């Protein structure tokens, strides 16, 4: 930013024609933020790779037959994921919704038109209690009833002919067996015997990329993840990958099919192309090197903040996924600064910095996931100023 300030006037003074890039946010009176929240939708979640931005701009210049784009993109996505088929969706939530509709309707277009009226269809989706989360609203958008179970016996008893699908929230210690009554391999085996498809929500398994083909290799029927988080594709995209018959049914239940429950989850051709390009890049990244860089940024902040008498600790990695988070706390009474006040000062300052409260609302938490080198210095400096 500082560079631009002297660089463009200098070029103009030299008689070089410069078109200073317009900032669409500042033109609206909005100041962009530095993101230390991680892939959080409310601040934009994804920092699209620069080359993806130009590929999407190129794709936007022409018309193309959407179904052809969907087929060609889907074929390459499926190869990356290790599945029969794949579809670009409106985020993971869109993928979960379409996957559920697909299990209910199959290829029957009369049923597609009938949803969310379940006449003539199964009416239940099975979810283990620790897998319940806000995003399973996408499952309920099909009109189904969620059957929640919290033991292996209850799970087995619930595998009735009325169950259309099992929703499984991914997130493991690497052995696919975190604290859950029925771990994934067993869930898949039991579901196969009962003839019920399993959909894994794999949105919280990135990084790293290998987790996606690993989930696919367990024999799940479908999996879903976000293109607009760490993958750094278009923010509103996601992927549904899995069995071809189910993916074909998911497509029937989505845009461009006008009379379908998923018509509102439209994905355009630029987003399909953009997500494919992002994923082709993402799947080849050196995740160990990325991890070292984020760790370096986190360690820098860990070393700087104690100079302002802040206490710092690293948050434990959640469910085996290496995301570096630093929690900074202070004695609120002696420093006369609340968590909310510090967060507000960071967000109101220059540059604006978005953070999250620490565990239990105490202190602030900084997530290092898509940050450019140097941003760690800015947040550390701002915090030292606030606590000076």
Ligand X SMILES: *Cc1c(COP(=O)(O)O)cnc(C)c1O
Q: Which of residues 96-135 bind ligand X (CB under 6 A)?
A: 135
Q: Which stretch binds ligand X (CB under 6 A): 151-159, 201-209, 256-264, 316-324?
A: 201-209
Q: How many CB atoms lie within 10 A of CB 64?
A: 13
Interface with ligand X, residue 226, by CB under 6 A: yes
Among 38, 74, 91, 197, binds ligand X (CB under 6 A): 91
**ω before 172 within 30° of 0 (cis)?**
no
Among 8, 31, 32, 41, binds ligand X (CB under 6 A): 41
d(CA 282, CA 202): 16
Interface with ligand X, residue 228, by CB under 6 A: yes
Tokens for 211?
């987790």
Task: State which H helix or E strand residue 87 sits in.
Answer: strand 85-89
Nearer of residues 40 and 190 to ligand X, judged by Cβ: 40
Nearer of residues 197 and 228 to ligand X, judged by Cβ: 228
Residue from 323, 299, 295, 321 nearest 312 by CA:
299
The closest residue (CB) to ligand X is 91
Q: What is the DSSP string of 121-183?
A: S--EEEEEGGG--GGGHHHHTTTPEEEEE-SHHHHHHH--TTEEEEEEE---SSSS--SSSS-
Among 83, 204, 253, 297, binds ligand X (CB under 6 A): 204
Tokens for 272?
């399909």
Coil, helix or strand at residue 62: coil
Site string for ligand X, 59-88 (x = CB under 6 A): ------------------------------
Size of the site for ligand X (CB under 6 A): 11
d(CA 368, CA 375): 10
Interface with ligand X, residue 92, by CB under 6 A: yes
Q: How far is the CB of 216 from ligand X (least distance, A)?
A: 17
Q: How far is the CB of 104 from ligand X (least distance, A)?
A: 20
Nearer of residues 230 and 382 to ligand X, judged by Cβ: 230
For ligand X, the binding residues (CB under 6 A) are 41, 91-93, 135, 201, 203-204, 226, 228, 238
């Amino acid at each position: 930013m500082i560079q631009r300030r002297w660089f463009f006037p200098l070029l103009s003074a030299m008689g070089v024609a410069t078109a200073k890039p317009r900032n669409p946010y500042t033109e609206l009176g909005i100041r962009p933020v530095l993101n230390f929240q991680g892939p959080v939708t409310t601040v934009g979640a994804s920092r699209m790779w620069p080359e993806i931005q130009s590929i999407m701009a190129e794709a936007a210049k022409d018309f193309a037959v959407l179904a052809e784009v969907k087929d060609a993109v889907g074929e390459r996505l499926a190869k990356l994921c290790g599945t029969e088929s794949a579809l670009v969706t409106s985020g993971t939530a869109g993928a979960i919704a379409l996957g559920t509709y697909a299990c209910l309707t199959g290829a029957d277009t009369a049923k597609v038109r009938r949803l969310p009226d379940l006449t003539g269809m199964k009416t239940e989706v099975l979810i283990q209690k620790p897998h319940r989360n806000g995003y399973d609203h996408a499952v309920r958008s099909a009109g189904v009833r969620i059957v929640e179970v919290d033991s292996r016996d209850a799970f087995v008893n619930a595998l009735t002919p009325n169950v259309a699908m099992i929703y499984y929230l991914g997130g493991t210690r690497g052995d696919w067996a975190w604290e859950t009554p029925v771990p994934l391999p067993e869930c898949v085996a039991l579901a196969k015997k009962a003839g019920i498809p399993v959909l894994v929500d794999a949105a919280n398994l990135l990084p790293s990329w290998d987790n996606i083909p690993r989930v696919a290799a367990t024999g799940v029927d479908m999996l879903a993840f976000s293109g607009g988080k760490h993958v750094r594709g278009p923010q509103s995209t996601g992927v549904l990958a899995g069995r071809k018959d189910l993916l074909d049914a998911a497509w029937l239940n989505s845009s461009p099919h006008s009379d379908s429950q998923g018509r509102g989850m439209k994905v355009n051709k630029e987003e399909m192309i953009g997500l494919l390009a992002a994923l082709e890049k993402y799947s080849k990244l050196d995740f160990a090197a990325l991890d070292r860089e984020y760790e370096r940024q986190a360690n820098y902040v860990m070393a700087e903040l104690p100079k302002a008498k802040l206490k710092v600790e690293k948050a434990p990695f959640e469910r085996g996924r290496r995301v570096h988070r630093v929690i900074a706390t202070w004695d609120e009474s002696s420093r006369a600064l609340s968590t909310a006040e510090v967060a507000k000062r960071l967000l109101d300052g220059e540059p604006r910095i978005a953070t999250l409260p620490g565990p239990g609302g105490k202190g602030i938490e900084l997530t290092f996931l898509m940050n450019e080198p140097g941003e760690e210095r800015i947040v550390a400096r701002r915090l030292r100023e606030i606590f000076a």
